[in-house]
């Protein structure tokens, strides 16, 4: 029996990497990276489960179109999409340049729209689909120096609710996962004082793991999550409670 295809953007490191590996147990995973070297790394990582990596520039509509054409040629249409890729350009709003705002909005928000639109037809034809958008606790709480990032993530959540309402009768669910502080390469580089400051804001008194986020993603991608749509599910150890 042919396995469903899952497309995971930003799969070469961090949360995206763990999600790609986790979904690889049940799906044919196609992961993206911003460079050919990153795509090759994903292919090697997913070799045992039959997945592969592709290069993708979310800012470039032609790059998105080329990726979707390659998938159409070599794979079945994706029935699971995990929009994970994103960037930061942190700076206080008063000092933020327009290009720093635009870079984050176009990559993190417009990129999600473009990739999602590209896979919707296949999901609609199959009458089944799972779209999972990685946002952030920052989209709900805000964070000094990240007004562009927070705006993009909050925008994804609004887009998710609207798309869920549009797709509800087609068997397609659309949800967000909003991680809080998670152990990644970036957090490992923080000083002990910085880590202590972060932990003081988290009732669980620890950082989350990429495996915990990936497990939630795998559930939302499953048949069992078919009655969950339009939701933002926070995973942050109690840092933000709604």
Least confident window among 54-68, 86-100, 186-200 = 186-200
Q: How confident is the model at residue 191 (pLDDT cuts 50, 70, 90)?
A: confident
| Residue 31's pLDDT band (cuts 50, 70, 90) | very high
Tell me the average pLDDT across 105-116.
98
pLDDT one-digit tens code per residue, 197-238:
889 999 999 999 999 999 999 999 999 999 999 999 999 999
Among 114, 26, 36, CA closest to 6: 26
Mean pLDDT of 13-21: 97
* Percent of the chain surpassing pLDDT 70: 98
Please enumerate, as own/partner, the contacts of 202-205 that have beta carbons within 8 Å and a separation of 24 or more: 202/236, 202/237, 202/238, 202/239, 203/237, 203/238, 203/239, 204/237, 204/238, 205/237
Domains, the chain, with CATH or none: 5-233 (3.40.50.720)
Q: Which residue has the higher pLDDT, 172 or 184?
A: 172
Q: Write down the H helix ranges in the chain.
A: 14-23, 36-45, 61-74, 98-105, 111-126, 138-141, 147-167, 185-188, 192-199, 210-220
Q: Is the pTM of this model over 0.75?
A: yes
**pLDDT for 121-165, tens place per residue?**
999 999 999 999 999 999 999 999 999 999 999 999 999 999 999
pLDDT for 106 equals 98
DSSP one-letter code for 108: I
**Beta strands 172-179; 78-83: pairing state:** unpaired
Is residue 54 flagged as an active site residue?
Answer: no
Choice between 185 and 112, residue whose per-residue pLDDT is larger: 112
Task: Work out the mean pLDDT of the chain and round it to a whole number.
Answer: 95
What is the band of 92 on the pLDDT scale with cuts at 50, 70, 90?
very high
- Residues 101, 194: Cα–Cα separation, whole Å: 26
User: In which band, very low, low, confident or very high, does the pLDDT at 195 lie, cut at 50, 70 and 90?
Assistant: confident
pLDDT at residue 187 tops 80: no
Catalytic residue among 27, 54, 149, 159: 149
Angle in degrees, 0-180, between the axes of helices 111-126 and 61-74, rounded to the nearest 10: 30
Any idea which residue has 């009655």 for tokens? Answer: 227
Residue 1 has pLDDT above 70, yes or no: no
Question: In DSSP terms, which residues pair with 129 in a beta bridge?
Answer: 172
């Amino acid at each position: 029996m042919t396995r469903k295809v899952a497309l995971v953007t930003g799969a070469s490191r961090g949360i995206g990497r763990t999600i790609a590996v986790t979904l690889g147990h049940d799906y044919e995973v196609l992961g993206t990276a911003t460079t050919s070297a990153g795509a090759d790394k994903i292919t090697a990582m997913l070799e045992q489960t039959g997945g592969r990596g592709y290069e993708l520039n979310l800012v470039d509509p032609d790059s998105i179109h080329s990726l979707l054409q390659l998938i159409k040629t070599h794979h079945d249409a994706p029935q699971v999409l995990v929009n994970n890729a994103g960037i930061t350009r942190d700076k206080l709003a008063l000092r933020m340049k327009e290009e720093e705002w635009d870079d984050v909005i176009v990559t993190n928000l417009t990129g999600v729209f473009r990739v999602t639109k590209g896979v919707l037809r296949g999901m609609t034809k199959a009458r089944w689909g799972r779209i999972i958008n990685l946002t952030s606790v920052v989209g709900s709480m805000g964070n000094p120096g990240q007004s562009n990032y927070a705006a993009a993530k909050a925008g994804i959540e609004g887009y998710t609710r609207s798309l869920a309402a549009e797709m509800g009768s087609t068997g397609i669910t659309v949800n967000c996962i909003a991680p809080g502080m998670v152990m990644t390469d970036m957090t490992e580089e923080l000083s002990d004082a910085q880590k202590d400051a972060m932990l003081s804001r988290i009732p669980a008194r620890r950082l989350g793991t990429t495996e915990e986020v990936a497990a939630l993603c795998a559930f939302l991608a499953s048949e069992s999550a078919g009655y969950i749509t339009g939701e933002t599910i926070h995973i942050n150890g109690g840092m933000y409670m709604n």
